[in-house]
Amino acid sequence: MQHGEFCRTVTMDRRKFIQLAAAGTGLLAGAAVLGLPLHARAAEAYPLPPLPYAENALEPYISARTISFHYGKHTKAYYDKTNTLAAGMSGLALHEVFLKAAGKPDSAALLNNAAQAWNHTFYWNGMKPSGGGAPGKRMMEHLQASFGGYEQFREAFSAAAKGQFGSGWAWLVRNSDGTLEVVKTANAENPMVQGKTPVLVCDVWEHAYYLDYQNRRADYVSAFLDHLVDWDAAEKHLT
């Protein structure tokens, strides 16, 4: 999936949204009969994307219990809040929402929730069962050019992920000149705000690993790199 295609997957197609809205009267009536909650009675502009694998697919490195909380509660909450705060912005892709909100003090809540929704979906889509280890030839060539090799990249990425103070993210990003760089961001920050293109991300908020690793963030980061990274997905963000 290309980077632009990924950005479009985390928002609803505007035409579909309008079509669903036009059918709203019948849908709401049926929902009322069924006693469904309000969020299930109408289409959301930014629905929670499904996981690309089963909740237990990343075991033993990330447990189904962790994913049930991290995806089912944390990620969903960011999408739910974004849908509330971004009313009237359904014509924008999710990344456009937080980029538009960046730098505006009165839009801090929208920035934080929309960016966290995007960051988490990018994280989920950047892992796969039996992943990790050294990448394929094309990605390896890029890592060689930018870092000197895979081991040098791994050392830099591990240091960023382990060294992020408090909550945040470790990223492999592509700069405008095509070079790759490792950066870390705090809380909901996203490198796109600085004009960088995300290629790979590791979530180092405690809720991402605490049930499985407690305070051993280093072990979680090693498991992510050695067993979970989907290099095929990362490679698609190189251009």
pLDDT classification of 44: cutoffs 50, 70, 90: confident
pLDDT of residue 18: 34
Mean pLDDT of the chain: 86
Backbone angles phi, psi at 180, to 5 degrees: -100, 150
Residue 70 labelled as part of a binding site:
yes
Q: What is the pLDDT of residues 101-137, one digit of tens each?
A: 998 988 999 999 999 999 999 999 999 999 999 999 9
Residue 142 labelled as part of a binding site:
no
pLDDT of residue 4: 55
Q: Name the pTM for this structure.
A: 0.82
Residue 162 or residue 11, greater confidence = 162
pLDDT classification of 29: cutoffs 50, 70, 90: very low
What's the burial of 35, exposed, middle or buried (CB within 10 Å: 0-12/13-18/19+)?
exposed
Locate CATH 3.55.40.20 in the chain: 137-235
Q: What is the mean pLDDT of residues 159-188?
A: 97
27, 41 contact by CB (below 8 A): yes
Residue 74 labelled as part of a binding site:
no
Distance CA 168, CA 166 (A): 7
Superfamily of 137-235 according to CATH: Iron/manganese superoxide dismutase, C-terminal domain (3.55.40.20)
